[in-house]
Chain A
């Protein structure tokens, strides 16, 4: 019941702060415009014509595009364009949860109640995660349903990719929580998390192309550069790998890169554990 109290309060706070409402509104607007603007004619599994906000394209210009491929392309476009935006909006929406909780006057009251510190922080984390997951599922489920109704093709990969991105957010959010506990500042937490987000994208490239250290002549500098890149790659949630895994789910291609998913989950779990340990030992 005590954890439920924190979950309920976290949901109410996010609604009150309006950031999550704006997020929900943007997704709704996107889905509505998609539902109203897109018209397709499907014949024998092929797209005969597409009309987007009155701009019409029809066969033979469609080059035998199957409805299945069309749905897949739209969903892949969503992954590349909307997921980064959705994740960053989620970080903005939830970054204040921990700094606000540990403000003087608020934390005193919470810690005087019969709930342990780890349970308090974990419930706060879970509250933020559940709210964001609901929004991601609303986006992906809504998109999947609209495309299914318009084309008759039901590709559940988009919903699975939404769940996967929720897992990615869970990893990133653990760093948001850690920064919030350590620094007690919403703004600095957002800045650090955004920096980690982009750093995780940037280190993917040198990690993938293993010959790059040869460009550095000095042995020490080469060693340091490789150490920094590999440490960051393994310590941070692997943004690029998650996006790639999401596209694989939509294309129904091969298995997931469980190494990347598991590594990110581990780094998220470590960040959350650090946050809990620090929070449990801190004077307020």
Chain B
């Protein structure tokens, strides 16, 4: 639903300024601080991953953006309107972490129910529901009540519900949590379709491999504070290290070559070296001198998981 023209399409879809949230506890004075003065901008049209260990404040941030919870201080805007604004919610799709659909409804009725709540009218709604039920492979289950659905089917129905209104901003809280690999792939394909359509995707997940595959940018939260934010390509850039794949020849040939080159080491049948291009060339020369057959030379990159563990482990402060 892109009917609203009041928002600059090129501006950030989400902006948080010094956003803070403290949950009041009944028997405690201070309460629990979930977010501490968060500054964040999510560019429109990008897929943004929010990472962090349990209790980092990821779900709280999503709830503040949707108006499900209220900020203690600071501001947030979504699609050019204050967070939680009813009109901006017309253009948002949301899949919560533990979504529960009315058990008395069939899959088709669930989509019609949330379609009505999103302001979709017949006959367009009927067409959209039919289309989505087929797309998420629930066509044959459309008339079955959702309390009989498996976890994977519920997740597919949840995705259909979230994209029902063709949202400009799609917010997903742990969409692949507890889903098997096939289910994860189905969800990933749906997300890539939404990305191709131009939707901004805000993905809250701790499945780092999924985030790395889909997201353009990520932010890492810890204890309510932003530790790192940036493009996935920048965060996982090559780190001046190389991996040389070899084909087994004489058993002592690789060891002999590695011993001659400073910084080189043999790991699980391949050779790794820290250093720049001359260093890897000298390793190749040494290996070839021992008549070791080289099958590949690859620059080493930090995976998102490496970055995540490193950032959290170092306890970086924003």
Interface on A for B, CB 8 Å cutoff? Answer: 1-2, 4-6, 8-9, 12-13, 15-17, 103-116, 281, 283-284
Contacts and interface: CB of A to CB of B under 8 A. Distances in A.
Contacts of B103: 16
B90 A114 contact: yes
A218 B103 CA distance: 58
B121 A1 contact: yes
B277 interface: no
Interface residues of B, number: 32
A139 B215 CA distance: 60
B99 A105 contact: yes
A284 B69 contact: yes
Contacts, number: 83
Contacts of A17: 104
Interface of B: 23, 63, 66-70, 86-87, 89-90, 92, 94, 96, 98-105, 109, 113-114, 116-119, 121, 161, 171
Contacts of A13: 102, 104
A108 B67 CA distance: 9
A283 B23 contact: yes
Nearest to B67: A111
A4 B105 CA distance: 16
A112 B102 contact: no
Contacts of A115: 86, 117
A111 B116 CA distance: 14
B116 A112 contact: no
A12 B86 contact: no
A104 B98 CA distance: 7
Nearest to A1: B116
B216 to A, nearest CB: 23
Contacts of B90: 114
B1 to A, nearest CB: 10
SS class, residues of chain A in contact with chain B: helix
B87 A108 contact: no
14 contacts: A1-B116, A1-B121, A2-B117, A2-B119, A5-B116, A5-B117, A9-B102, A107-B68, A108-B96, A111-B66, A112-B96, A114-B117, A281-B70, A283-B68
Contacts of A284: 63, 68-69
A12 B96 CA distance: 23
Given A114-B87, A116-B86, A283-B68, A105 B100 contact: yes
A261 B67 CA distance: 38
Complex A-B, nearest 9 residue pairs according to Cβ-Cβ distance, in ascending order? A16-B104, A105-B100, A5-B116, A283-B69, A112-B94, A113-B117, A108-B96, A114-B89, A114-B90
Given A12-B105, A109-B96, A114-B90, 4 more contacts: A9-B105, A9-B113, A105-B98, A112-B171
